[in-house]
Structure 1
Amino acid sequence: MSLRLASNVFYRNGTALLRCRRTNNVGLLVRTRAVPRSVHTQALNPAVNNRSPPSSVWQNRWNLARRAFVDNLLNRVTNSLSADLRRHTARQLMFGNSRPFFALVGMSLASGNGMLTNDNQLEGVCWEIREAVGRMHKNLTVAERLKLNSSLGLKQFELGSVVAKGNNAVVYEARKIEVDKEHKDLISKQESSTKTYPLAIKMMFNYDAESNAMSILRAMSRETVPSRCIQHNTSRPDQQWLIGYEQNLIILPPHPNIVTMHLCFADYVPELIDSHSLYPQALPTRINPEGYGRNMSLFLVMKKYDMSLKQYLSKTQSLKIRDRILLLAQLLEAVTHMSNQNVAHRDLKTDNVLLDVSEGNDVCPALAITDFGCCLADKDNGLHLPYKTADTDRGGNIALMAPEVVTARPGTFGYINYSKADVWAVGAMAYEIFSGSNPFYSYERGKPPLLRNTTYEEENLPTLDDEIPLIIRSLIHSLLRRSTSERLDASLAATVCQIYLWAPSSWYTKYVMPTSNEILQWMLCLTTKVLCEGGTIMSSVNTKQKTYTEYQLITTFLHRAKLYEIKNALSWMQLVHSE
């Protein structure tokens, strides 16, 4: 950028900001004069409006700062239609539509006219990408939200057969019905021949908590971490407890690779199909005189998935390498989302990963992590758990705990760092995805595992097949490093998978780092395709699953993508190829 241009930009944007600060009125923007080769020809109205609410003032200040950034970028587009393009782009951008902005920046990068000159401006465009994709993801989340009434409980659902049963819960297929008798009869007439159950209701076994919503939700609070709605009853006088409950517990924002949990509520345990034979001891005495369960328990309403990852891998032996990488990438994206929200699952295994294979086994399914009953989601301690006594709950299966967790020793000032514990579990699961067996866990009774997480050495890890790409093999081994400082974090590992899937292979095989403009141009291509096609594809019921899964994976990547992290991932990949 020349000195003259820098002075012009500083004067134009700086004087506007100073005038805004002096008058404290940024609510009114008026067009003052037409200036060639300038995106914004608006100035601040000197009239002071002290009645503007504080939130409106800060929002307008943010809009002004954003205008200044966009002005700095778009002012350097030089062609015969630049003035019209800049005005149209600015108008669309200020109304929340970023597609013209991305298109204009992409054309500038392709033409090489020097529109972007430093990494700060490139990171600003990355921020715009994250915001635009985030808005699309939010709209899709709102569109799939069900209208459920937590106060009605089980009355608004019809339960079908048993989907799964464990030591702590049972899952039934379900569908929403109308409570009104007239509507209910109408639905039963229309769907009696083709009755479908798109939902699943998980009923927890309650042996200890008192039969009221307050005690049950507190005792089983971890199960509700991915829930999008928790039972509310404003008519109760003790409503304040629910506010405190939500303040102490982290609630995961929606994510494509986290189980879709629409609602959780407490209700009376009903006498359901096969309940006396499947879980007789969990039934209350009013149903089974020999049962030990309480009258009420926790119910979780979720999207119905087809099978677990364990079942899928056992049934699908001839899975393509690319599809296996897509499964690994989805796992890493889910763990990245949890880590960014200071949540550790602590019980990751193929039984707790669900798949949607409704389009058949010949395409890669969509993946979602479930069963958060052992998770760590404490706002006070984050991912560091105080470990003062040996009675402290460290998570799920001890054979699948990370080395730093299973070898931790309690003490007065002791603690366990879970920041990379789930990543280690994903590395162990990756062996099941790519080779069919977990070296740290044996599903056959009486047969010990190949390695133990307490004593294993990294050089003793089983060798993966040569058909698996070198980058993926090195990534799996890096996830299983005993030292947390040498182990890749979830975000970097997920970025490596995403780059391998979608970026040019020459970026990590020719040992020449692509420029920032090339990386941004690649990101803009992905963003444009997702914004123009992804929303329609991901919201369409008749879309092929393969396209849906890949668009969904690209969207999650763009929603968190940062330029410096992409460069770090490329450096790691180039280092792997150079060794």
Structure 2
Amino acid sequence: MSVKHALSRGLELGRSVFQLGLFKPAARVAAKFRGERLRLSPPTRTVQPQCFLPARYRFYRLSVSGLAARLQSGGFRRLVGGGSPRNRTVFLAFGVGLGLIEQQLEEDKRSAALCQEIQTVFRKKKFQSPRKPFTSGYRLEDYVIGKQIGKGCNAAVYEAAAPFAPPAENEKFSLDQLDQNDTEEKKNPGTLRFSTTSSFPFAMKMMWNIGAGSSSDAILRSMSMELVPSCPQALPKEQGVIALDGHFGPVPKRLTAHPNVITVYRAFTADVPLLPGAQEEYPDVLPPRLNPMGLGSNRTLFLVMKNYPCTLRQHLEVCVPTRMQASLMLLQLLEGVDHLCRQGIAHRDLKSDNILLEFDCTGCPRLVITDFGCCLAEDFGHKLPFNSRHVNRGGNGCLMAPEVATAVPGPGITIDYSKADAWAVGTIAYELFGQPNPFYGTQGLESRSYQERHLPPLPATVPADVQLVVKLLLRRNNQKRPSARVAANMLHISLWGQRVLASLDRARMDKLLDWLLCQSAVVLLNVRGPSRSSVQAQLQRSFLSNIDLEDLRAAVRFIMYGQEHWQSVNALY
């Protein structure tokens, strides 16, 4: 308790002693100061001021400190006046207890204010794309299209380049071939250009349009979920209003930029071209003018994004990340999912194929979440009304959270997706640490019926805190499962706060808050350093910009639970 609180409490107790009537002159003087009538003559009826609340609600009008002082005063009165021991004990216990509660509330206010100040400092510097903004690129003819780099169940992805777009920061590629192709296009206007150059900074995703028709309005409405991660300049101004009335409702939800979420630079409709490999890879979805047996429409939606070297699945097939790299990759996925949750969006199709990967200046993998075709971005928040079996639960049934997979449709039934993506991240953690995903394959577990004790253990080299996070993320009961934010906080404290973990206490957060101040100072000092764009620096800034007292306390409680669990397990052996 601080000196200020001790003095105020002493004054309250002193006033209580005077009010007991032990010193009659002091009581008379106090009564005069209060303007009260001393009962030396028969009482007379006076008009009392009317209160807004009845007398039985008087304690709701008192502060915690005032109530504590009154209870302590009542205890002293009964102590001097000869009240029963039970009454004296009860009043004193309540008074002291409320005093302790008041002290805890004051500490909570200071801690919450500190967290708010740190959050404000780091939220001022928003994430910015390393690529400079450009004003063109709303036509298919503006791009040089290369080879196919990916194909899914509803789209094909090609590498692309644009002569009008400036290169990204620290990005080196030659524009000689692009200038040559641009000259050829000027000689033969209307022709679609292709190039074999390896300098393609963009990836162009061509959606397969089978039932939306060839109208631009219908295409944008039908595929509007693909526009969730788009930047404000993705659509031209005349088409930006069209997307306002899609699956999103009257106000669409657009994601703000984040290092671990893909950004769509451009979105436009155009006639379906005959791209390399189309006749062999996806002939059925081509329009009849390109394939007489095709079922596709003449126009479709094109999305322009950054071109990443590979997917997470491709990377893990040829490389085994180190323990530190795998922990940072898991933390990035949790930060990306938390960014989606904060804006009321559920991805619903998280898997290693829908996670792209590149490397930072230190060689650490940087992950971004992509492919929002199955996302939930409605005004329902994270809860979807499930009154019919025709309602789409999401993609990839193998990595569907238990609360989603076991939902039974009916009147008033809703599916809660608030922690479904975090559960999927827990399954992907096995792949990050070199193990097969336990929910894949014919012999794998099923999310509908698995038991937590059936989960295979992670390698012994994985840190205990990381194993605890994965175990908690894969809890069947989503009420006992931590959110992505709390799980990310656990990893942040484990990675950067090892010294504070040894002396961490459930009740007091002083040492943790001191560590937060030191961590904030270190991040601010390194903001202009050579590694400011590294994965670790971005993760630390993201942690400090989303810091919250309740989330921190929840993370500490889970960590304490894990430490007690491991101690009990070690005691058995």
How do 1:53-202 residues align onto structure 2 when only pairs under 5 Å count?
Answer: 118-138=107-127, 140-141=128-129, 144-149=131-136, 152-178=138-164, 188=179, 196-202=199-205
State the one-letter code of the partner of 1:331: L
How do 1:315-354 residues align onto structure 2 when only pairs under 5 Å count?
Answer: 315-317=318-320, 319-354=321-356
Cα deviation, residue 472, structure 1: 1.3
State how far apart, in whole Å, the 2-side matches of 1:373 and 1:235 are: 24
Cα deviation, residue 145, structure 1: 4.6
- Flag the 1:322–1:240 CA change in 2: closer, same or farther, 3 A: closer
Q: CA offsets per residue over residues 383-434 of structure 1, 9 Å max, x none?
A: 1111111111000011211111111111011111111111111111111212
User: Partner residue of 1:391?
Assistant: 390
User: Partner residue of 2:303?
Assistant: 300
List gaps (5 residues or longer) in structure 1.
8-116, 443-447, 541-547
User: Partner residue of 1:492?
Assistant: 486
User: Partner residue of 1:40?
Assistant: none
Identity between Structure 1 and Structure 2 (%):
36
Cα deviation, residue 566, structure 1: 1.9
Q: Structure 1 stretches (4+) deviating beyond 6 angstroms?
A: 1-4, 190-194
State how far apart, in whole Å, the 2-side matches of 1:308 and 1:573 are: 32
User: Partner residue of 1:508?
Assistant: 501
State how far apart, in whole Å, the 2-side matches of 1:217 and 1:453 are: 34
User: Partner residue of 1:78?
Assistant: none
- TM-score by length of structure 1 reads 0.71
User: Partner residue of 2:370?
Assistant: 370
State how far apart, in whole Å, the 1-side matches of 2:255 and 2:178 are: 34
Q: CA offsets per residue over residues 155-180 of structure 1, 9 Å max, x none?
A: 2221111111122111111112239x
Cα deviation, residue 267, structure 1: 1.6
State how far apart, in whole Å, the 2-side matches of 1:193 and 1:173 are: 10
- Flag the 1:334–1:196 CA change in 2: closer, same or farther, 3 A: same
If asked which structure has higher relative contact order (CA below 8 Å, sep 6+), I would say: 1
Cα deviation, residue 495, structure 1: 0.6
Cα deviation, residue 123, structure 1: 2.5
State how far apart, in whole Å, the 2-side matches of 1:172 and 1:358 are: 23
What SS does structure 1 have at the residue aligned with 2:146? strand
List gaps (5 residues or longer) in structure 2.
9-105, 166-174, 183-194, 566-573
State the one-letter code of the partner of 1:560: N
- TM-score by length of structure 2 reads 0.72
State how far apart, in whole Å, the 2-side matches of 1:190 and 1:201 are: 18
Q: CA offsets per residue over residues 438-481 of structure 1, 9 Å max, x none?
A: 11112xxxxx1321111111111112222111111121111111
State how far apart, in whole Å, the 1-side matches of 2:162 and 2:521 are: 37
- Flag the 1:231–1:313 CA change in 2: closer, same or farther, 3 A: closer
User: Partner residue of 1:563?
Assistant: 549
Q: CA offsets per residue over residues 342-382 of structure 1, 9 Å max, x none?
A: 1111111111111103769xx32000011111111102x11
What SS does structure 1 have at the residue aligned with 2:433? helix
What SS does structure 2 have at the residue aligned with 1:436? coil
Preserved contact between residue 112 and residue 548 of structure 2 (Cα < 8 Å) = yes
Cα deviation, residue 229, structure 1: 3.5
Preserved contact between residue 401 and residue 425 of structure 1 (Cα < 8 Å) = yes
State the one-letter code of the partner of 2:342: N
Preserved contact between residue 509 and residue 577 of structure 1 (Cα < 8 Å) = no
Cα deviation, residue 130, structure 1: 1.9
Q: CA offsets per residue over residues 83-138 of structure 1, 9 Å max, x none?
A: xxxxxxxxxxxxxxxxxxxxxxxxxxxxxxxxxx8442343332232222222224
After alignment, is 257-266 or 515-524 more displaced? 515-524
State how far apart, in whole Å, the 1-side matches of 2:543 and 2:530 are: 17
State how far apart, in whole Å, the 2-side matches of 1:234 and 1:403 are: 42
Preserved contact between residue 452 and residue 475 of structure 2 (Cα < 8 Å) = yes
- Flag the 1:358–1:124 CA change in 2: closer, same or farther, 3 A: closer
- Flag the 1:149–1:359 CA change in 2: closer, same or farther, 3 A: same
Cα deviation, residue 323, structure 1: 1.0
Preserved contact between residue 280 and residue 288 of structure 1 (Cα < 8 Å) = yes
What SS does structure 2 have at the residue aligned with 1:285? coil
Preserved contact between residue 538 and residue 552 of structure 1 (Cα < 8 Å) = no
Query: Which structure has the bigger radius of gyration?
Result: 2
Q: CA offsets per residue over residues 542-567 of structure 1, 9 Å max, x none?
A: xxxxxx11111111111101233223
Preserved contact between residue 269 and residue 302 of structure 2 (Cα < 8 Å) = yes
User: Partner residue of 1:17?
Assistant: none
Alignment counterpart, residue 515 of structure 2, candidates 514, 517, 522: 522
Preserved contact between residue 231 and residue 266 of structure 1 (Cα < 8 Å) = no
What SS does structure 1 have at the residue aligned with 2:378? coil
State how far apart, in whole Å, the 2-side matches of 1:511 and 1:195 are: 52
In the alignment of these two chains, the number of paired residues is 444
